A and B are shown apart, each in its own frame.
Chain A
C-alpha cells in the first residue's frame, strides 16, 4: 500500500505508477461533476464546443458540495463524495474525450468504467463517504464556478486543493478493481459464513 502525492496536471505516466489499494493525495486543481455536468460536457463536446476550462490532466470529483456565498466569493462548507456508480453511464466517454486521468468518488465503479480505465490509462480513487470535514480541509478555495444553472450540487466547481485525500485507489490503469475483488471475496466467504450460521446460501 504505497502513498503517492500528485500535483496537477496529472499525466498518464503518473497514474500508471499506482495499483489498487494504494493511497493518493492530490494538490493543484480538481473539478466537481455529477450526472448532469457529465452529460452536458459530453453533449457540448459532441457539438464541437469548448469547455469552460481545460479538463486535461485534472481530476474529476463526484461531489455536490454544500456551499455558502459570502459577497462575491464562494465558500465550500462540506464536500464529501457522492455515489459513483451513477456516473458509469458517462465516465468511459468522459475519460476518452477530455483526457481526465483521475476520477474521485465513493463506492466504486463498474466494469464499463474499469475497461475504459485500462484502455485510456486512468484511475478511480475512493474518498471516504461522509468525511465532509476532512474533504473540506483539503480544499483551499473555489477558483471558478460554471454551469450554475444546473444548481449548486450539480454545477461545475473548479477547486484549488492541497493534499486532498486520502484517496484509496479503487480501479487502476490495468483495469483491476478493488471493489470487484472485495465483492468476489465476499461471495467466496459465504461458504464459511453458512457453516458458522448453520445455513446454506
Chain B
C-alpha cells in the first residue's frame, strides 16, 4: 500500500493550498493509500481548534493523521490546548521517520 506524506506550509486563510491538499488526501484515501498530513510554517494556523476548518474535520472523518510542527506552533504562540482534537504537535523527527519509512512526500 502506498503511503503519502502531504506537507503543507501555507496559511489556509491566505491560499487554497490547504483545501487542495485535503482534497488530494481524500482522493488518495479513496484510492486505498495511507495518508498523513504534516503542517509546517503558516500551515499550522489550520491546526487551531478555533480555525474551525471543514477540511480539518474531513481529515478527521477519513482518519488521516494530522501533525503540526511544534517549532512552528511555538513561533506563532499556539499552545497544545488550542489544537483541534485530531491534530498532534510533532517535531521534524516525525517527518524524518515518515520519509525513512518510504512515504512519498509532497511539499506545498
Do A and B belong to a common assembly? no
Instruction: List residues of chain B with CB under 8 Å of any chain A CB.
Output: none
Instruction: List residues of chain A with CB under 8 Å of any chain B CB.
Output: none
